Amino acid sequence: FRSTEITAAIEDVAYSYKVTASDEEGDALTFAATTLPTWLKFFEPDTIRGTPNNDDVGDTLVVLTASDGIATVTQSFALTVENTNDAPSPFDLLAPGNKAIISDDNIEFIWRPSNDIDDDILNYTFYIEGTNSFFSDTIDVADTEELIYYSIPVQELIDIS
């Protein structure tokens, strides 16, 4: 093999590696991929390419061959897919609807939480329309489909006027 393998890929970014090799007798070579991760495909005559996603982050083995019909040589390497930060899914605010519910000097919220595939801690910010106020808090919730019930003390609202 004359080509130097490309051993790094980035999640959600196209990866491509064109294989080159030469034969001492000048015979034509045929390339093949004997071991590839599922996100990579071999395109004849000499290229592997694909786009890894979040599930592909980490190390994987790639094995390529070059053959002149008599002898076969192998190029093996570890390909590392680096993670990128993925945006969390939107959260689904269930209450209050169009009007804040204030009870006992608290505003009550109910929502279905966001899902963050990277397991980052999410920060939720609530803007209270018509009051020029907002409230921000980091709420550490495990990946769950459970509803979140949260009460904000009115005195903790931050005036942004």
Say how far residue 104 (Cα) sits from the centre of its chain: 42
Helix, strand, coil percent content, the chain, rounded in steps of 5: 5, 45, 50
Q: Judge if pTM exceeds 0.85.
A: no
- Residue 121 to residue 108: CA distance in whole angstroms: 22
Handedness of CA 73, 78, 84, 86 (dihedral sign): positive
Cβ distance 125 to 135 under 8 Å? yes
pLDDT (tens, 9 = 90+) of the chain, 161 residues, equals: 778 899 999 999 999 999 999 888 889 999 999 999 999 999 999 999 999 999 999 999 999 999 999 999 999 999 999 999 988 888 777 776 666 566 667 777 777 777 888 877 777 776 666 565 666 666 655 555 666 666 666 666 655 55
